[in-house]
Amino acid sequence: MILKFPKLTPETLMILPLAVFIDTIGVIIVLFGADDFGILDPIGLCTIGAWQLFKAGKVTAPRVKKGGILKKIFTGKWSKFFVTWGGEIIPYVGWLPFWTWAVYFQLTQQDNQQEEQQQQQQQQAITQNETQE
């Protein structure tokens, strides 16, 4: 899997370095043989977590379908938030760069959605031109 750097936007320049900083501090603390005991988690949760919820759109409860709740939790917009938060609160697992991964995947998903919208608009413009001719 080839990782691509997200487009340079104000969000990329503000949120991604913050996530890298929080994860780096966590790794440094673990390398000195200690755990941060949740000191960094509220900082990441209040900043990056709030940003994730803001980017996810309006917060709605998942619709109840047979077998749909688990699928929604583990593959939907909630998984990006809860997997990161869950990984960070487990002692000595929180040193993994969960915040950085969450921000990276949010930004690249956003880039992919924008590219898909542009392609759809181009296809619609082409079909409109063909019908007019």
- Cα dihedral 40, 71, 107, 55 in deg (nearest 10): -80
Residue 18: the pLDDT is 93
CA–CA dist 31, 90 (Å, integer)? 16
**Which ranges in the chain belong to alpha helices (H)?**
10-31, 40-44, 50-56, 68-75, 77-89, 98-132
**Does pLDDT of 103 surpass 50?**
yes
Residue 78: the pLDDT is 66
Residue 26: the pLDDT is 84
- Section 100-123 average pLDDT: 81
Residue 2: the pLDDT is 65
CA–CA dist 2, 8 (Å, integer)? 18
**Per-residue pLDDT reduced to its tens digit, 59-78:** 444 444 444 453 444 445 66
Give the global pTM.
Answer: 0.66
**Does pLDDT of 49 surpass 90?**
no
CA–CA dist 107, 55 (Å, integer)? 10
**Per-residue pLDDT reduced to its tens digit, 5-41:** 778 888 889 999 999 999 898 888 888 877 666 778 8
As to burial, measured by CB atoms within 10 angstroms (0-12 exposed, 13-18 middle, 19+ buried), residue 130 is exposed
Residue 1: the pLDDT is 54
